[in-house]
Structure 1
Amino acid sequence: MSDKKHPQKILVRMPNWLGDAVMALPVILGLKELFPTATIDIAIKNNFAGLIGLLPLASDVIALPDKNLRLTRSGRYHTALILPNSFRAAWDIWRAGIPERIGFAGDMRSFLLTRPLPRPAKHSMSQAEYFKTLALAAFPGFQAGGLKLLAPGLAINSAMKLLPKENTPLIGIGFGASFGAAKMWPAERFALLIDRLDELGSVVLLGAESDRGVEQKVLGLSKSNPLSLVGATDIQTLAGVFSRLSLYITNDTGPMHLAAAIGTPVIALFGPTSPAETKPLDKNAEVIYHGADCAPCWKRSCPLDHRCMTAITVDEVEKEAIRKLWLP
């Protein structure tokens, strides 16, 4: 058997966004099914490395931060599967000296790849299917694995130290969006929703350090006193928090995908992006999306009146939250 058909040392270059990285995890699981005896390592951003520890195959998968790609020049890998479309991702793998370099063509990077594969038309499939399409073209017989992440016991213990001890439903709120303000439901609507949800359970605000500005605006508008864990969790602790939540209401963000993969009931608010492409992989996740004549536009900031997000009312989100919390 040739190494090209049955590679024994594979490096997977993961996407740079958290949500995309979560949607790419079925590729890792599928590769382990296809090549059960192979070493499969992952090149992933440092701040997302904890994501790999949530896989059921964590003991067989190693997170390899990008800055250490130079270490692979020793000949450790024969094959690299490059999931991002960027020139830089292909350039890093080429510099690492990995003999077999597989990825979609485009972005003037085909000369860096030994197998530049035809890229599907833009917006022609979901992001998860996009990654699966690349893996299948690279490795005939590939089938994506099902995605179910598990928060480690230590992560759950860390989360429980942060969360309220009351025996009431825990409702998480994700009001940020690292991609840009266009994805954000208005802060005043989140504040009003939080006040209403405060009567149903304990509300917990979640987000990255970069969400501090929005956090302060929401807290300033809210009449209640929700617990804020903004900037207080790494990936694994956040997974532990999600494992304890009864519901997570969020914009279209990376943590949305993480929560859905953990199995947390999710209500996702979509506007400038397309649910057909980036909705959570969990079929039980609820998407609220009204669209607009200009949506999806994929813009980071709205040049108009944010109509795609303001079309979502507090009443309908509250109604869906009650349904999720109290109906089987």
Structure 2
Amino acid sequence: MPLKEKTKILVIFGYPGIGDILLASPVLRALYNYYNEVEFTLFVRKISSLSSVFNIIPHCEKVVFYDKNIEHKSNLSFFRLCMSLRKEKFDLAVVLHHSPRNSIVSFLSGAKNRIGFDYGINKIFLTKHITPNENQNIIYYYADILKTIGIKEFNPRPWIIKQNIKKVKNRIVFSIGSSWHRKEWPPENFAFLANMLCKAGHEIVLVGSDKDIEKANIIALNSAVTNMVNKTKNLLDLCKIIESSSLLICPDTASLHIARGLDTKTISLFGPTSPIIYGPLPEEELDHKVIYKNLPCSNRCIDKECPDNVCMKEITPDEVYKKAIEILSNQ
């Protein structure tokens, strides 16, 4: 595609969570660096939790939310929304989801060039498509799309706005919740770990959403922690806390990817999901540790058949503590 004074790019996310968008953000960086000047428009499903995620990623001022449940529930209203995109005269549409519905959005947008994955009938609506390698980290899965337009330079770290906040040497953040309860570590384990780290002279800060208040109260009951659960106004506030900290300890959740983008070291606790697909990259191992038991049911968790969340309960506070001391000693 020839370079222009300004390249207008439509990025279609499909059905994402905050973590999915952060994991796709390196693709936005690669596109931004490849073209002379870029104007992004993001097309994403309207979900309350996504309202502030684009405020922490550079150059994401224009967002089109579609409301699957109310405003754009009918096929006609959704069609009209897609057709309204044509006025932007997009040079490129990038489809970051394999659903044919999203490839159809790219086609209806009128974008001259449309790239994405070649699942099913997608290739009918795309000008260029690729079969991705599904056995790799999701960041590189998304990046495969860039090969269709010849982009080779790629920085896999999440693209997040830094606020240049100085790190507090002994501050450790616990991000205690997750979008799926099967990924959560027991609050009693967080409490035990907090006691050990506080005794070793570390400051512990708890972060999470309103769904995590009860867990936070359990952790804070017998520990000298700073409880910021449900007290951050938006993701920008959460980023400030994480950027100021030396270490983040969390399950497989969006906070992990925020920390990676802000140069904060991490220990991530994986159970029902695969760290190979959703965790830090192998080249980040020095600063981003993973604890994962890899049980026979891991990575193919059937929620209704799980009696006790054993994959997360097998991770002990002692082993997390040892990892924390190890990673902090490398500062």
Which residue does the alignment assign to 2:89? 76
Shift in Å at residue 321 of structure 1?
1.4
Shift in Å at residue 7 of structure 1?
8.8
Shift in Å at residue 142 of structure 1?
3.7
The structure carrying a bigger strand percent of its residues is: 2
TM-score (ref. length: structure 2) = 0.80
Shift in Å at residue 214 of structure 1?
3.1
Which residue does the alignment assign to 1:164? none
Residues 1:112 and 1:62: Cα distance change in structure 2 (over 3 Å) = farther
1:110 is the counterpart of 2:113: no
1:255 is the counterpart of 2:255: yes
Residues 1:127 and 1:111: Cα distance change in structure 2 (over 3 Å) = closer
Instruction: Determine the C-alpha separation between the residues in 1 that align with 2:117 and 2:35.
Output: 21
Amino acid at match of 1:135: L
Instruction: Determine the C-alpha separation between the residues in 1 that align with 2:169 and 2:35.
Output: 45
Amino acid at match of 1:176: G
Question: Once the two structures are superposed, what CA deviation does each residue of 1:147-173 show, in whole Å capped at 9, x if it has no partner?
Answer: 3534336xx69xx9xxxxxx7722111
Residues 1:111 and 1:321: Cα distance change in structure 2 (over 3 Å) = closer
Does the 8 Å contact 1:82/1:89 carry over to 2? yes
Secondary structure at the aligned position of 1:198 is classed as helix
Does the 8 Å contact 1:248/1:265 carry over to 2? yes
Does the 8 Å contact 1:273/1:296 carry over to 2? yes
Which residue does the alignment assign to 2:271? 271
Which residue does the alignment assign to 2:71? none
Secondary structure at the aligned position of 2:61 is classed as strand
Does the 8 Å contact 1:94/1:112 carry over to 2? no
Residues 1:25 and 1:49: Cα distance change in structure 2 (over 3 Å) = farther
Which residue does the alignment assign to 2:10? 11
Does the 8 Å contact 1:7/1:79 carry over to 2? no
Q: CA RMSD in A?
A: 3.2
Instruction: Determine the C-alpha separation between the residues in 2 that align with 1:61 and 1:25.
Output: 10
Secondary structure at the aligned position of 1:14 is classed as strand
Does the 8 Å contact 2:89/2:110 carry over to 1? no
Question: Once the two structures are superposed, what CA deviation does each residue of 1:29-73 show, in whole Å capped at 9, x if it has no partner?
Answer: 111222223433333567446444545xx3x54341424965523
Which residue does the alignment assign to 1:143? 153
Which residue does the alignment assign to 2:34? 34
Secondary structure at the aligned position of 1:320 is classed as helix
- Tell me the matched-pair count: 308
Shift in Å at residue 133 of structure 1?
0.6
The more displaced of 94-103 and 242-251 is: 94-103
Shift in Å at residue 262 of structure 1?
0.7
Amino acid at match of 2:172: I
Q: How does 1:199-238 map to 2 (within 5 A)?
A: 199=199, 200-219=201-220, 222-233=221-232, 234-238=234-238
Does the 8 Å contact 2:5/2:36 carry over to 1? no
Does the 8 Å contact 2:178/2:253 carry over to 1? yes
Q: Note the residue ranges of structure 1 that are not aligned, 5 or more in a row.
A: 161-166
The more displaced of 25-34 and 143-152 is: 143-152
Shift in Å at residue 93 of structure 1?
4.0
Instruction: Determine the C-alpha separation between the residues in 1 that align with 2:327 and 2:140.
Output: 27
Does the 8 Å contact 2:272/2:299 carry over to 1? yes
Which residue does the alignment assign to 2:299? 296
Amino acid at match of 2:208: G
1:134 is the counterpart of 2:145: yes
Secondary structure at the aligned position of 1:203 is classed as strand
Instruction: Determine the C-alpha separation between the residues in 1 that align with 2:257 and 2:52.
Output: 15
The more displaced of 300-309 and 235-244 is: 300-309
Secondary structure at the aligned position of 2:9 is classed as strand
Identity of aligned residues (%): 26
Instruction: Determine the C-alpha separation between the residues in 1 that align with 2:121 and 2:231.
Output: 38
Instruction: Determine the C-alpha separation between the residues in 1 that align with 2:128 and 2:219.
Output: 47
Shift in Å at residue 276 of structure 1?
0.8
Instruction: Determine the C-alpha separation between the residues in 1 that align with 2:28 and 2:174.
Output: 29
Amino acid at match of 1:310: K
Instruction: Determine the C-alpha separation between the residues in 2 that align with 1:136 and 1:300.
Output: 36
Shift in Å at residue 297 of structure 1?
1.7
TM-score (ref. length: structure 1) = 0.81
Shift in Å at residue 80 of structure 1?
0.9
Amino acid at match of 1:143: E
